[in-house]
Amino acid sequence: MGKVSLEGIEFHAFHGVFSEEKKLGNRFTVDIHVETNFKKAMLEDDLHETVDYSRLYQIAKGHMQEPVKLLEHLGHLMIDDIIKAYPKLQRVEIIIKKHNPALGGVVDYSVVKVSYPEDYQ
């Protein structure tokens, strides 16, 4: 079993419940971690035998461009598309950070972590 990750992917997006968030947007950071068996890729040097992290990036980018209210829902949408692209994955974890959330005080970021299969049971 191996892990493929993308960490610190940054986007400006318009996710949130409040009208200011939908209008002004905010800075988000996304981390994607997937676990799969990539032994054949290690031995044969074949991208088709592992997870193409450029595809993971494109999935995240696509969902960041479509505003939703909740980061939990956003993580779920990303996981669904990742699993569709790579059905043999053993585990997927999405971590989404919203920088400087509008809470009336100083907060670096809020964080939501969604995992498959854990949060899907």
Q: Which domains does the chain have, with CATH numbers?
A: 2-120 (3.30.1130.10)
Which pair of tokens denotes residue 117? 């299969």
Instruction: Give the model confidence (pLDDT) of 76-101 as tens digits.
Output: 999 999 999 999 999 999 999 999 98
Instruction: Give the model confidence (pLDDT) of 8-56 as tens digits.
Output: 999 999 999 988 888 999 999 999 999 999 999 999 999 999 999 999 9
Q: Which residues are catalytic?
A: 98
